[in-house]
Amino acid sequence: MVKSSSILSIAIVLLVWASLGEAKTQANKVKPETITCYNRGSKCFLKKVYCPIECPNVQPKEPNAKGCFLDCYSPKCETVCRNRKPNCDGPGAACYDPRFIGGDGIVFYFHGKSNEHFSLISDANLQINARFIGLRPPGRPRDYTWIQALGLMFGSHKFSLEATKTEKWDNEIDHLQFSYNGEALIVPQGLYSTWNSPNNELIVERASSKNSVTVTVPELVEIRATVVPVSEQENKTHNYQIPSNDSFAHLEVQFRFIGLSLEVEGVLGRTYQPDFKNPAKPGVAMAVVGGDDKYRTSSLLSTDCAYCVFSPEKNAAREGSMALEYGTLDCTRGIGGGNGIVCRK
């Protein structure tokens, strides 16, 4: 009820706003925007590609409307309509108590332990760890766990994204907290509010006014994340026995990787190895995959797991050239969502 009434009030605000707006806004709605790619390797390099008529805008104002998206790393140069929020049923997803969908499309669970950290992705130039929170009701053999935070490392940079602890969940309150290279980062609330690191190495863009973001590291990864509580229904269905003084606010995440190496490791990463034999078989309900000992790290932003392969020194040269490529852009409005870049003249 809360949700639908807030959607209604947003819709009313939009209606008033739209009727006050100039003709230009109307024109924008009809005429699809164009979008392009600035990375030289892209099939879309400097091509102006029109958005589909079904989603004419890269940043639609309507809540839950799909946005126009151009994948600059795809072998095709084609715009598509896409949700701004993570799709928990798509490849690269990590949602619920955590349920993953591998690069091979296979669904699996990795339970880990609460208040510990595990590497989801470990590659030569990218590492992503997760902090698990959870509880173990009396008599249960294991912890129920959820992903509360992500720690991302690339080159010499460190970024973290956390769901803040909250007793009682409230949709009207933002529960996201960020840091970049050890400093707290403020990304003002508001749809499409954006933060760029000094040389555009990392971009954070809100995908709704609160509790949902897209984080992009050009040429490496795009992360869509939303903060949610454990719902009453989930608590009932799975008998989690959630106490009344903790909502277990956690993340729903979907990753999109660009150019992982063949040796990529991590709970999720290994499923992207071309010859990975997933111990979880397709169609088996609740396939649980182990690996605590291989992937445990000592903190959110450390790379010390037994199977971790992150080695940023090898990538120093690469990072220099990346900064050059992205640092010279003079048309950076709307970076994000797969690095399709919108230029308005």
Question: Which residues are at the interface with ligand NAG (CB under 6 A)?
Answer: 167, 232, 235, 239, 241-246
CB of 229 to ligand NAG, least distance (A): 9
Alpha carbon separation from 80 to 58, 76, 103, 166 (Å, rounded) = 10, 11, 21, 36
- Least separation in angstroms between residue 85's CB and ligand NAG is 24
Sheet strands (E) in 247-295 = 250-257
State in angstroms the smallest separation of the CB of 243 from ligand NAG.
5
Q: Given the complex with ligand NAG, which of 213 and 230 has the nearer CB atom?
A: 230
- CB of 47 or CB of 238, closer to ligand NAG: 238
Pick 121 or 230: Cβ nearer ligand NAG:
230
Minimum CB distance to ligand NAG smaller for 167 or for 170: 167
Q: Which is nearer to ligand NAG, 49 or 163 (CB)?
A: 163
Residues in contact with 56: Cβ distance below 8 Å, sequence separation at least 6, in sequence order: 28, 29, 30, 31, 32, 33, 68
Residue from 94, 91, 113 nearest 104 by CA: 91
Token pair listed for 344: 């308005």
Please say which residue, 118 or 144, places its beta carbon nearer to ligand NAG: 144
Contact by Cβ (8 Å): 81, 69: yes
- CB-count burial class (<10 Å; 0-12, 13-18, 19+) for 191: middle
> To the nearest whole angstrom, how small is the minimum distance from the Cβ of residue 146 to ligand NAG?
14
Q: Are strands 79-82 and 296-297 parallel, antiparallel or unpaired?
A: unpaired
Least distance (Å) between residue 149 CB and ligand NAG: 16
Cα separation, 5 vs 142, in Å, equals 39
Nearer to ligand NAG, 230 or 308 (CB): 230
Q: Can you read off the two tokens belonging to residue 276? A: 């990975």
CB of 248 to ligand NAG, least distance (A): 9
Q: At its nearest, how many Å lie between ligand NAG and the CB of residue 76? A: 46
Token digits for 218? 């050009």
**HSE on the CB side for 213, CA within 13 Å?**
26
